[in-house]
Amino acid sequence: MASHLGGTRDGMILHWPLGVPERGGLRHQFSHVIDVLPTILDCAGIPEPFSVDGVPQQPIEGASMYRTLTDPEAPEHRRTQYFEMCGNRGIYHDGWMAVTRHGVPWEMVPDKDKRFADDVWELYDLTTDWSQAHDLAAEHPERLRPLQDLFLIEAAKYQVFPLDDRVTERENPAVAGRIDLLGGRTSVTYRAGMRRFTEETTPNIKNRSHSVTADVELPDAPAEGVIIAQGGRFGGWSLYFTEGRPAYAYNYFGMNLYTVRATEPLPPGRHEIRLDFAYDGGGLGKGGTAVLLVDGEKHASGRVARTIPYYFSFDETLDVGVDLSTPVTDDYPVLDNEFTGTLHTVRIDLEDGSAQPAGFDGGLHRRVMGAQ
């Protein structure tokens, strides 16, 4: 969590024989991941870029660690560093760290009525207590108050406010109220071999009607394998062939699997396989109807009772012609599930708009401003 060092304090291994001939040396000066880029630029003798392709760049906020590399006893290059994520906050300054835990990561939809003003601050002396085992807030209130004020100053300086304690909602751009990377594009075409697209770089099919259209050429033997898949065993969807029949599977958090399959295998040759998903609407995570069409004719349909509202997976990806990592469905093997025919293109089309009414912001204003 951002408020405490567990999971965020990690060792860094650096190898630079030309600049640091010392072997096996240790450095204990406080550093932050944002210091890595300034250090590389400093070591390489490259100035900070102020413009890239005519686009002005924001100032680099890190500080170079170069002096600590060449001098183990050099003073800390970074005296102050704020931390904030999902309302959990922390501030480091000259060996002391004040922190407050607003929530826990496993509360994916936290208590909407929890206020930041009610959070309890803790105080640690990191020069003697890196594990943050001994809270000194009650013993040193004269140190805690200035650090709390310093957090406000740093947070204002680096655009942290207003604090936003939403967790799962922020994963879905349409729900979080932020621009997604596709910039409003409603149609994307993929080709065979395109793989490992993280969720933020793909069309956001959640909470809306959509279609998936594949231009395929089937072999003489019954076709097998994946046309396109997103997510995996614990959430996702897949359009694929099994025993020569087109099929669609929707995996709801690994708890429910909804499958729609054609009853008869398709003949060899070129075909258009289309999946139309009609979202029920009326909010987030509702169900829908999936219809499989072959060359414009309906071959199968079925209900998907519930859908994933926010995020399929942090580590699984969208893959074309194969389902990498864990499979969405057991209809095909974990490995060797590539499509056995020829895949020309796969197109995802999103219905204009979303399931939310005009002006919907995912509760951003109510949750964020109400918790301040």
As a CATH number, domain 180-350 is 2.60.120.200
How far apart are the C-alpha atoms of 105 and 8, rounded to whole Å? 13
Q: Determine the distance from the C-alpha atom of residue 84 to the mean position of all C-alpha atoms in its chain, rounded to a whole number.
A: 17
How far apart are the C-alpha atoms of 174 and 354, rounded to whole Å? 8
Q: What pLDDT score was predicted for residue 361?
A: 52
pLDDT digits (tens, 9 = 90+) for 202-250: 999 999 999 999 999 999 999 999 999 999 999 999 999 999 999 999 9
How far apart are the C-alpha atoms of 258 and 295, rounded to whole Å? 23
HSE (CB half, 13 Å, CA atoms) of 293? 16
pLDDT digits (tens, 9 = 90+) for 310-340: 889 989 999 999 999 999 999 999 999 999 9
CATH for 33-165 (3.60.9.10, 3.50.50.60, 3.40.50.2000, 3.30.1120.10): 3.30.1120.10
| pTM, rounded to two decimals | 0.71
Pick the closest to residue 247 from 297, 295, 302 (CA basis). 302
Q: In this structure, which amino acid lies at residue 206? A: K
Check: CB of residue 208 under 8 Å from CB of residue 350.
Answer: yes
SS3 275: strand
Q: Find tokens 């995570």 and name the residue.
A: 285
Check: CB of residue 70 under 8 Å from CB of residue 19.
Answer: yes
Pick the closest to residue 226 from 277, 203, 192 (CA basis). 192
Q: Where are the domains of the chain?
A: 33-165, 180-350
How far apart are the C-alpha atoms of 125 and 130, rounded to whole Å? 8
Please give the structure tokens belonging to residue 265.
């295998």
Burial state string for 105-130 with b = 16 or more CB within 10 A and e = fewer than 16: eeeeebeeebeeeebebbbbebeeee
Q: How many CB atoms lie within 10 A of CB 59?
A: 7
Q: Determine the distance from the C-alpha atom of residue 77 to the mean position of all C-alpha atoms in its chain, rounded to a whole number.
A: 31
Pick the closest to residue 308 from 212, 239, 209, 206 (CA basis). 206
Q: How far apart, in Å, do the first and last CA atoms of the chain sit?
A: 20
Q: Determine the distance from the C-alpha atom of residue 257 to the mean position of all C-alpha atoms in its chain, rounded to a whole number.
A: 23
Judging by beta carbons within 10 Å of its beta carbon (0-12, 13-18, 19+), is residue 294 exposed, middle or buried? middle
The one-digit pLDDT tens for each residue of the chain (372 residues) are 778 887 678 889 999 998 998 889 999 999 999 999 999 999 999 999 999 999 999 999 999 999 999 899 999 988 999 999 989 999 999 999 999 999 887 776 767 778 999 999 999 999 999 899 999 999 999 999 999 999 999 999 999 999 988 887 777 777 777 777 888 899 999 999 999 999 989 999 999 999 999 999 999 999 999 999 999 999 999 999 999 999 999 999 999 999 999 999 999 999 999 999 999 999 999 999 999 999 999 999 999 999 999 889 989 999 999 999 999 999 999 999 999 999 999 999 999 754 444 444 555 544 444 555
Judging by beta carbons within 10 Å of its beta carbon (0-12, 13-18, 19+), is residue 352 exposed, middle or buried? exposed
How far apart are the C-alpha atoms of 151 and 198, rounded to whole Å? 33
Q: Find tokens 């909602």 and name the residue.
A: 169
Q: How many CB atoms lie within 10 A of CB 9?
A: 12
